[in-house]
Copies of this chain bind each other. A is one copy, B any other.
Amino acid sequence: MNKVILMGRLTKDPEMRYTNTNNIPVCSFSLAVDRRFSRQNEEKQTDFFPIVAWNKNAEFCSKYLQKGKKIVVVGRLQTRTWDDNEGKRHYITEVIAEETYFAESKKAEGSYNVDDYSPMAVSEQPSEGFVPIDDDDELPF
């Protein structure tokens, strides 16, 4: 099991790219997450984490997220290595976003907004032809 849940703000607009061999969409950005406990009277502390989203979630992120937006990311931790030009190996720990939620509605209530008709969250899970899993009224017990 490997779960990460973060609430924070994008430090920049997300970057959309595509995988070289399979042209899979990848979206990446950095999330600023405030710490809760710090030394008394100390100024606020913030951690910055690299987030990576794939496939449908990548498209969602690149379309609906911008710098400063407050979101909740549910995903998993992952480690990646890369070698710099001096041949030195670097380890980087990233959060792979599996679900993304808006954590605030920027617009005042009542004001029309094109976003009203857009999805509020997305996940890696299938959405077309999806067999209902919340099949409550048919529960056989």
Q: Interface of A with B (CB < 8 Å)?
A: 1-7, 15, 17-22, 24, 26, 28, 33-40, 45, 47-49, 52, 54-55, 70, 72, 74, 77-80, 92-93, 95-96, 99, 101, 103-105, 108, 120-121, 123-127, 130-136, 138-141
Contact = CB atoms under 8 A, between A and B. Distances in A.
A132 B79 contact: no
A4 B94 CA distance: 13
4 A-B pairs with the lowest CB-CB distances in the bound complex, closest first:
A104-B104, A93-B93, A1-B7, A17-B140
Contacts of A96: 133-134
A138 B20 contact: yes
B4 A38 contact: no
Q: Which of A1, A17, A38, A96 has the most CB of B within 10 A?
A: A1
10 contacts: A1-B7, A2-B7, A4-B5, A4-B77, A26-B140, A35-B78, A35-B134, A37-B133, A70-B104, A104-B104
